[in-house]
Structure 1
Amino acid sequence: MPEIGFDEASEVLAAQPFSVLVGARLVTYERDRAVLEIPLRQELLQQFGFVHGGVLSYAADNAITFAAGTALGPSIVTTGFTIDYLRPAQGTLLRAEARVVESTKRRALCRCEIVSIGDDGTEKVCAAAQGGARSVDLSR
């Protein structure tokens, strides 16, 4: 399995147009763990001023996939995930931390916790997700 480091993983994130659109950045990429952050701005909110559920789902999906990539290598795709929205997210920053729970040679199961960080630095868990990824042969 080819492993990539933090710089290469950051380049992968930067090559994703949607990740650039939401302003996502990779802050941690280490064995069995990845953390993504998204600075919150008006365009990422829904009509009540809370972070849109699609942004929370994106954060979970990508954090899970990056965490899985630490165990499986870079040629992977998400196989699916579930997310539970625990409370409305608001503040200045969204942080999604995913960890590998179990992995085989081709698949990984991960869990993700998403917190919103307020203006005063207070962190609140706003969502939790679980999902998986599998390695793919990109030469086909």
Structure 2
Amino acid sequence: MVRISELESGYYWKHMGMSIIEHEGKTQIIMEINDNLKQFFGNVHGGVLAGLLDSSIAVAVNQQLDPEVGASTVEMNINYLRPVNVGTLRAEGKVIRKGRNLIVGQSEIKDDAGNLVAIGTATFMVTQPKR
């Protein structure tokens, strides 16, 4: 299973420009907005925000798993609250409930001014190692 320190070295994370930072004792993902992340009208594409939410919840989930255990997203719900087109986005995920087979997490994305851009929840299915 991939650990948090290995996540940002993955191709997807590099492509999206995401990186992990520790801020006030919490793990956050930051993403600099650039033109490659924008849709036709000049705002960050909803799919980019969805990926950032999913990734930040995945970080929170991975922090609660043993090294040999994995988890994959099986469901996600997103509310887009405001458009954004410049600056840096910050996402912070947290685990709401951890069960044996399913983990539910939540995340918020904020802009440079601290405004909520999007919120989301996701359910992850826990995968045990093969014996």
TM-score (normalised: structure 2): 0.84
- Corresponding residue to 2:78 among 71, 74, 83: 83
Structure 2: runs of 5 or more not aligned: none
Give the root-mean-square deviation of aligned CA atoms: 2.5
SS at match of 1:72: coil
Partners of 1:26 and 1:13 lie apart in 2 by 7
Counterpart in the other structure of 2:60: 67
Counterpart in the other structure of 2:34: 41
Conserved 8 A contact 1:44-1:51: yes
Higher helix share: 1
Structure 1: runs of 5 or more not aligned: none
- Corresponding residue to 2:43 among 50, 61, 80: 50
Aligned residues between the structures: 128
Counterpart in the other structure of 1:137: 128
Pairing 1:101-116 to 2, within 5 Å after superposition: 101-116=96-111
Partners of 2:122 and 2:76 lie apart in 1 by 4
- Corresponding residue to 2:13 among 11, 19, 23: 19
The alignment-based identity, stated in percent, is 26
Partners of 1:28 and 1:106 lie apart in 2 by 28
Partners of 1:91 and 1:138 lie apart in 2 by 42
Q: 1:73 to 1:90 in 2, by over 3 A?
A: farther
Cα shift at 1:90: 2.5
Partners of 1:73 and 1:93 lie apart in 2 by 32
**Deviating more after overlay: 61-70 vs 72-81:** 72-81
Amino acid at match of 2:118: A
After superposition, give the CA deviation of every residue in 1:65-121 in whole Å (9 maximum; x if it has no partner): 11111123451111211001011122211111111111123321111111122xxxx
Q: 1:134 to 1:73 in 2, by over 3 A?
A: farther
Cα shift at 1:138: 5.1
Conserved 8 A contact 1:65-1:132: no
TM-score (normalised: structure 1): 0.79
Q: 1:134 to 1:28 in 2, by over 3 A?
A: farther
